[in-house]
Amino acid sequence: MTGTSKFKAIRIELAATSRSDFPVEQVFPLLCPAREFDWIPHWDCRLIYSQSGIAELGCVFTTEFEKDHALDTWVISEFLPNRKIQFIRINEFRSIKYDLNIQSNDGFTEILWSQQITALNEQGNVLVKSITQADFDEQITKVEKLLNYYLAHGKAMLSES
């Protein structure tokens, strides 16, 4: 491979905020690939590596959802309990640096979800171009609803809508 590639990667950045009326000590542990089975309908992942069996620095897992067009490998690259989780998520088309910055405010929790998505090839450029802030906002609104429902009722909603 030479350094004269004509490919120019597209990169986008998205951010959205969610809120929970529950304290960060209840919210943070649920932001984990193993615990998401409890509260996200249709969640599916394969835990590849975790010493503890839950989210931790260096945890590796995979997901394969039709909307992602390929098998995704996720690595937890930063893990500060009750404050921040960063995932690096990659497939053959694009990479995502996914940051969850958590703030505790008088008993409620705010999460700033941000993604930096970079295409890895021309097909990735097409996929990245199709991603919109509105779609990301909708996704985070659904996540907020699912998380709050689980925290209030101790069980998952039957559907994500």
> 4-26 pLDDT, tens per residue?
679 999 999 999 999 999 999 99
Q: Domain total for the chain? A: 1
Going from the C-alpha of 102 to that of each of 58, 67, 78, 128, the distances in angstroms are 19, 27, 13, 26
Q: 70 lies in which domain range?
A: 11-153
In a domain, 2, yes or no: no
Give 14-70 pLDDT, tens digit per residue: 999 999 999 999 999 999 999 999 999 999 999 999 999 999 999 999 999 887 779
In a domain, 158, yes or no: no
Q: Which CATH number covers residue 25? A: 3.30.530.20
pTM to 2 decimal places: 0.91
- Separation of alpha carbons 17 and 34, rounded Å: 23
